[in-house]
Amino acid sequence: MVASLNIAFIGTGVMGRSMAGHLQTAGHVLHVYNRTREKAAALLAAGATWHDSAGAAAAHADVVITMLGFPTDVEASYLGTGGIVEQARAGALLIDMTTSSPVLARRIAAAAAQRGLTSLDAPVSGGDLGAREARLVIMVGGDAAAHARAKPLFEIMGKNIALLGSSGAGQYCKMANQIAVAVGMVAWVEALAYAKKAGLDPVAVHASISGGAAGGWAMTNLAPRALGENYAPGFYVKHILKDMRIALESAAELKLDLPGLATAKRLYDQVAARGWEDCGTQALYRLYLAM
């Protein structure tokens, strides 16, 4: 049994609210902040304490967890005036679970260390479903002792947890994950768009091929949503675009050409240009239907 901790949870959106909820159910005391207070309503009703900024929440916590949208949000929350690094208690553990930049993760780690704090970058995979069912994949970068300290919390939120290396390693692993996700989205979308164009029932084709070599997480979980014209976000188009930008920038730094990812990025740019950036990533299928 893990002792109850004061945890600041910053970012209670589609995934964050479920992740924070699991920690709350496990007996931890939550201090929350989100740009839109309504998205934290269920947590507040269950006893969480609201704060008016990320830094204010961090000032009350043993552990600070962030689950935000963009690297700019992460940078402002951690490194801005009155932010998490400035306001956190001495000895606090800072865990950024946002998909963000490996370079930024290292900057946060360095700034945290200067104040006697410890930080981990621990981005996740599994989408809204994985967050709700507490079976996220958690990819961790940072010190082994900090990872050991955080692992009981990770085990409340996820099932597949790995320390990949020093600060930034979690984000590099997540970029590898997102490359596979983005290119894989193109694969199942094109398969079902092709089937429909050939005069087949794409629902029947999906039932036929999803259990074989063409199968995968997205084929199983996202293709049925698309076929049912359900484009509600489990993971936003705007966020996969952000991840692809980070991955392509990182690949350029590594002098690696990724033509598959570049193609996926071009297609999702078209999805966003049609005004669908707040839809789920399965809206790529909608683009093919409109072509």
pLDDT in tens, 214-270: 999 999 999 999 999 999 998 899 999 999 999 999 999 999 999 999 999 999 999
pTM for the structure as a whole: 0.91
pLDDT of residue 127: 85
pLDDT of residue 2: 64
pLDDT of residue 168: 97
Question: Which residues does residue 2 pair with via DSSP β-bridges, in sequence order?
Answer: none
- Residue 247 CB contacts under 8 Å (≥ 6 apart), including other chains: 175, 178, 179, 182, 258, 261
33 neighbors 10 (Cβ within 8 angstroms): yes
Tokens of 122: 């621990």
pLDDT of residue 234: 85
Domain spans of the chain, in order of start: 6-166, 172-290
The domain defined by 172-290 folds into: N-(1-d-carboxylethyl)-l-norvaline Dehydrogenase; domain 2 (1.10.1040)
- The CA distance from 148 to 221, in Å, is 32
Catalytic sites, residue numbers: 174
- The CA distance from 291 to 289, in Å, is 6
pLDDT of residue 286: 97
How many residues belong to the chain? Answer: 291
Q: Return left, alpha or beta for 33; rule: phi > 0 is left, psi -120 to 50 is alpha, else beta.
A: beta
pLDDT of residue 51: 98
Three-state secondary structure along the chain?
A: CCCCCEEEEECCCCCHHHHHHHHHHCCCEEEEECCCHHHHHHHHHCCCEECCCHHHHHCCCCEEEECCCCHHHHHHHHHCCCCHHHHCCCCCEEEECCCCCHHHHHHHHHHHHHCCCEEEECCEECHHHHHHCCCEEEEEECCHHHHHHHHHHHHHHEEEEEEEECCCHHHHHHHHHHHHHHHHHHHHHHHHHHHHHCCCCHHHHHHHHCCCCCCCHHHHHCHHHHHCCCCCCCCEHHHHHHHHHHHHHHHHHCCCCCHHHHHHHHHHHHHHHCCCCCCEHHHHHHHHHHC
- The CA distance from 38 to 58, in Å, is 20
- The CA distance from 194 to 204, in Å, is 13
Please list the ranges in the chain whose pLDDT falls under 50.
none
Say if domain 6-166 classifies as CATH 3.40.50.720.
Answer: yes
In a 13 Å sphere around the CA of 257, the CA atoms on its Cβ side amount to: 1
Count CB neighbours of 72 within 10 A: 12
What average pLDDT is seen over the chain?
Answer: 96
